[in-house]
Structure 1
Amino acid sequence: MNVTGQIGKFAAKRQRDAIAQRMKEGMNFGNSSKVDWEDYNYPPLLQIIHFSLDDIEDAQAKSAVRWAHMSYRFVCFTLLFNIAATLVLVSSGAKGSFLNVLYSIFNFIIVSLVGLYSFYNAYKGLATNNMSMSLKYIMIQCLTIVFMVVSVSAYGANFNGLGSLKKANNASSKIKQMWVAWVIVESIMWIINLCTGIYSALKVQQNRREGRPTAFPLTENPT
């Protein structure tokens, strides 16, 4: 009887703990559902989406979103750097026609917009426990990582990857040092992007797996 009573108490305690955990998850989601998703404040000036790290209470989820945000911003910065580098190299006669500058601008527009959509899925997906949104981020981030690998190694057009070193070393003495410097700096930036991008994807994936299931439907605040 004593053993049976202890088993009964243990089972009752487990049931109470499970109920308390579900209530806690419900309260956490309730806080995130109070976020005004129509308060468009990001990126600055454009204000296309709503973004605030304060909307995320879970420390691990907040860290994952912070890394995803860092990855997105650094990609945009590197693409802007590529525009400047390509413009200088084209002006000096090292990189062909002005069409290469347009390629750089197109890359920035496309990758930055797709990256913003991807980042928003990571942010809102983790803020609202929506696994389908965070999965979209991981999938798009994997494609972005492929683009980063290409950017590190490719040459020609607007790409200034490590493959451009041979051509840069064979350039005239007036632009040789400048071109080599651009290639090295930009390649290092893409390598940093690659490391940051992979780590941010892993952080989001890890956080999705560790106790953040889609327990509640995604809701929007009424206007």
Structure 2
Amino acid sequence: MSRLSDFPITQRWPAKNPDVIQLYSLPTPNGVKVSIALEELGLPYEAHLVAFARDEQMTPEFLSLNPNNKIPAIIDPDGPDNAPIGLFESGAILLYLAEKAGKLIPNDPVGRYETIQWVMFQMGGIGPMFGQFGHFYKFAADKVANNPYPVERYTNESRRLLGVLEGRLRDRKFIMGDEPGDYSIADIAIFPWVRGLSVHYDAAETLRLTDFPCVSAWVERCSDRPASVKGFTVPATA
């Protein structure tokens, strides 16, 4: 594809400015990772709301960009070799944006791969396990009211993962270090999910988040960044 208009998704969500990155998302813990990164990196973008309430993630136009029908997804009209590129999977998008801008990921190979390692920790552990916890604890609580096993299982696994984070953050402000410049896509990948345990799932007491003071301080530190404050509300839902 050589032009933004060649992507079928733009028929349903037309680009007002076809020269900037097009973001297709919803302000969920997974979705805001990319809007926060875009704000941190200062990359111009245009946000389009994919309304799950209307099953827009299942439309042919959205599936043409992400056949896995999940948000977020992007199109960068100025991709490699100056050609448009469409991407899905938030971890892949974070890595692409960081490398495009030359920020939020270390330049040295060891630091780079260590950062990617923690992004994968979120993709393979934090996201799926916290998501399952939230599903059974809040959204499907009525379906498991007589079966405590699902909530117990994912409560225990969520606390185990929080313990891994607590150990990592015990002697540092950010996942990759103690300096302001150490803030990276690893932080951006993980902290919205931890924040979501309270904000989206109302589970701070159940998960005993006070047992993880370093994690709690880190989430507050990351959430207070101006790019995060803005990214939490992108795309606008009203």
What's the TM-score, normalizing by structure 1?
0.34
TM-score after normalising by structure 2: 0.33
- In terms of fraction of residues, the more helix-rich structure is 1
Instruction: Tell me which structure has the larger Cα radius of gyration.
Output: 1
Specify which structure has the higher proportion of strand: 2
